[in-house]
């Protein structure tokens, strides 16, 4: 990923407004139902090979030599497609992809990038094509700023080649402002909440019972 400063500045300005303007106590959290994903029937060897490419992608970002990521793309694909979350449009074709991953003048403001891939799910859609979806944890340090981090959903299409599985398509899917700010608020809940919640619910019921008794009397 390249510099994401502009995207984060815009998001910071919108986050608080979004949660208070467009959420209500009834609506809040209703779109965040998390369920375990089903097990996909796939050849374990294929699954392992595709996952290895995805983890290798993170290692190449972490090497800080971003141009080496191009080696994980199928050179025979005439029109690779790439969507970076902070960019205004899709990159279609090698010129844009190379310009993004191997620019002539790397951005001097970016000091360090770190990535980690997790929750990878792979589906074979043809003998030589696989779709993968996963979570990407991204961290970056730019000059004169504290490090920042983000969790992003990613999907990709990979083709089986003589050199192994290689990307032909990549798309990053950031969360909406409402979901993102809810995640931030949820992260700020102190440890021990579950126990406190249960006890507080009991205290609340006692208060209601007392008030009903006082009303009936």
What tokens does 185 get? 């608020």
Q: What is the pLDDT of residue 176?
A: 79
Q: What is the pLDDT of residue 8?
A: 54
Candidates 3.40.50.720, 3.10.450.50, 3.90.45.10, 3.40.1360.10; CATH matching 36-174: 3.10.450.50
SS3 call for 195: helix
Average predicted confidence (pLDDT) for the chain: 88
Q: Are 3 and 83 in contact (CB under 8 A)?
A: no
In tens, the pLDDT along 20-76 reads 544 444 444 456 778 899 999 999 999 999 999 999 999 999 999 999 999 999 999
Separation between Cα atoms, residue 122 and residue 155, nearest integer Å: 10
Is residue 210's pLDDT more than 50? yes
Separation between Cα atoms, residue 101 and residue 1, nearest integer Å: 8
With pLDDT > 70 as the criterion, what percentage of the chain qualifies?
A: 85
Is residue 3's pLDDT more than 70? no
Is residue 165's pLDDT more than 80? yes
Please report, in angstroms and rounded to a whole number, the separation of the first and last CA atoms in the chain.
Answer: 68
- State residue 117 phi and psi, 5-degree precision: -100, 140
Q: What is the pLDDT of residue 29?
A: 46
- State residue 127 phi and psi, 5-degree precision: -55, -30
In tens, the pLDDT along 189-209 reads 999 999 999 999 999 999 999
Q: What is the pLDDT of residue 96?
A: 96
């Amino acid at each position: 990923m390249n510099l994401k400063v502009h995207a984060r500045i815009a998001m910071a300005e919108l986050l608080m407004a979004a949660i208070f303007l467009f959420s209500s106590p009834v609506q809040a959290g209703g779109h965040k139902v998390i369920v375990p994903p089903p097990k996909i029937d796939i050849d374990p060897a294929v699954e392992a090979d595709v996952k290895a490419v995805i983890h290798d992608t993170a290692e190449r970002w972490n090497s800080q030599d971003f141009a080496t990521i191009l080696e994980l793309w199928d050179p025979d694909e005439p029109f690779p497609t790439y969507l970076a979350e902070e960019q205004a449009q899709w990159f279609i074709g090698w010129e844009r992809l190379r310009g993004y991953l191997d620019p002539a003048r790397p951005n001097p403001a970016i000091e360090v990038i770190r990535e980690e891939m997790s929750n990878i799910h792979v589906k074979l859609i043809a003998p030589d094509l696989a779709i993968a979806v996963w979570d990407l944890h991204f961290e970056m340090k730019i000059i004169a700023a504290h490090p920042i981090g983000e969790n992003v959903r990613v999907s990709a299409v990979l083709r089986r080649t003589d050199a192994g599985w290689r990307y032909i398509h990549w798309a990053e899917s950031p969360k909406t402002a409402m979901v993102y700010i809810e995640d931030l608020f949820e992260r700020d809940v102190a440890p021990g909440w579950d126990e406190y919640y249960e006890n507080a619910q009991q205290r609340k019921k006692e208060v209601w019972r007392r008030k009903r008794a006082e009303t009936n009397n």
